[in-house]
Amino acid sequence: MAKTKKKTASAQRGQIITFVSIVVVLMAIAVLILIKINKSSSPAATSSAVAPSDVVAATTGVPDSAFSKIGYNSTLPKPSPIKESTSLTTNGLPEVLYMGADYCPYCAAQRWAIVSALSRFGTFSNLGATSSSSTDSYPNTQTFSFHGASYSSKYIGFVGVEMQTNIPSGGSYTPLDIPTTQESKLLSTWDIPPYTPTKGGIPFLDFGNKYVLGGSSYNPGILQGLSMQTIAGSLSNTSSAPGKAILGSANIITATICKIDNNQPSSVCSLSYIQQIESTLK
Per-residue pLDDT reduced to its tens digit, 92-109? 999 999 999 999 999 999
Residue 63 per-residue DSSP state: -
Taking phi over 0 as left and psi of -120 to 50 as alpha, with beta for the rest, 85 belongs to alpha
Cα–Cα distances (Å) from 193 to 40, 182, 212, in that order, read: 37, 20, 11
Please tell me whether the peptide bond between 94 and the residue prior to it is cis, using omega within 30 degrees of 0: no
Pair 219, 120: CB distance under 8 Å: no
Q: What's the mean per-residue pLDDT of the chain?
A: 88
Please give the share of the chain, as a percent, with pLDDT higher than 70: 83
User: Residue 55 CB: number of other CB atoms within 10 A?
Assistant: 21
Please tell me whether the peptide bond between 105 and the residue prior to it is cis, using omega within 30 degrees of 0: no
Average pLDDT over residues 82-97: 94
| pLDDT greater than 80 at residue 27 | no
CA distance 251 to 280: 13
Pair 125, 151: CB distance under 8 Å: yes
